[in-house]
A and B are shown apart, each in its own frame.
Chain A
Amino acid sequence: GQNIDQPTEMTATEGAIVQINCTYQTSGFNGLFWYQQHAGEAPTFLSYNVLDGLEEKGRFSSFLSRSKGYSYLLLKELQMKDSASYLCAVRVFQTGANNLFFGTGTRLTVIP
């Protein structure tokens, strides 16, 4: 089975930086995704890492260490609209297909 852990809730201040961690234990690892999901809406793609290192995209960055089974999502210059759940998902190759396994999500609340 796949085991993916991330904190349940986090709170941060508008304008600040927040780091959301994700650890995983999987077999057939083939990449890691971060999604943003506002309440009652569909997840939207933020980032994808398959190699070790940092991927930067505007205010969002994602880091992966495959040897440690660890990733983080870094959000800079936080805005109120960043209040949402952030889902870590591991892509696993099994039985001839790439499937996604999700963590339970981290609910981020941005306060003024």
Chain B
Amino acid sequence: EAQVTQNPRYLITVTGKKLTVTCSQNMNHEYMSWYRQDPGLGLRQIYYSMNVEVTDKGDVPEGYKVSRKEKRNFPLILESPSPNQTSLYFCASRDQGTYEQYFGPGTRLTVT
């Protein structure tokens, strides 16, 4: 089944404790992206990647890192999480030449 998976789905952590949210897709898509969704603000792009070893900042990259060492994986790294990074996070992917984006199920992160 074609899908985008994220882990963990739910995470409660404390300020300053490094964490990684994994994202994996099995559709051989070149383009992958991370969004965060907050009430009243909608979905905002954090980082995106057009292919292996090619990443770029979205609208709200501060406090986040990403890597794209393999085509299927695009982890989101929070080196020192803060409470303002409490949010619902979505990973998405698509074929480079197409328009439809496939979203993962979301990761709800709470930083206390």
Contact = CB atoms under 8 A, between A and B. Distances in A.
A97 B40 CA distance: 26
A7 interface: no
B106 interface: yes
Given A41-B106, A42-B106, A43-B43, A100 B101 contact: yes
Contact of A40 (B44, B48, B106): B106
Contacts of B33: 99-100
Contacts, number: 51
Interface residues of B, number: 24
Contacts of A102: 35, 42-44
A91 B48 CA distance: 14
Contact of B40 (A43, A45, A96, A104): A104
A95 B57 CA distance: 11
**Which among B44, B56, B108 has the greatest number of chain A C-beta atoms within 10 A?**
B56
Interface in A41-95: 41-45, 48, 50, 87, 89, 91, 95
A48 B100 contact: yes
B27 interface: no
B41 A99 contact: no
A41 B99 CA distance: 21
Contact of B90 (A43, A89, A98, A105): A43
A50 to B, nearest CB: 8
B5 to A, nearest CB: 11
Contact of B43 (A31, A44, A87, A95): A87
Interface of A: 31, 33, 40-45, 48, 50, 87, 89, 91, 95-105
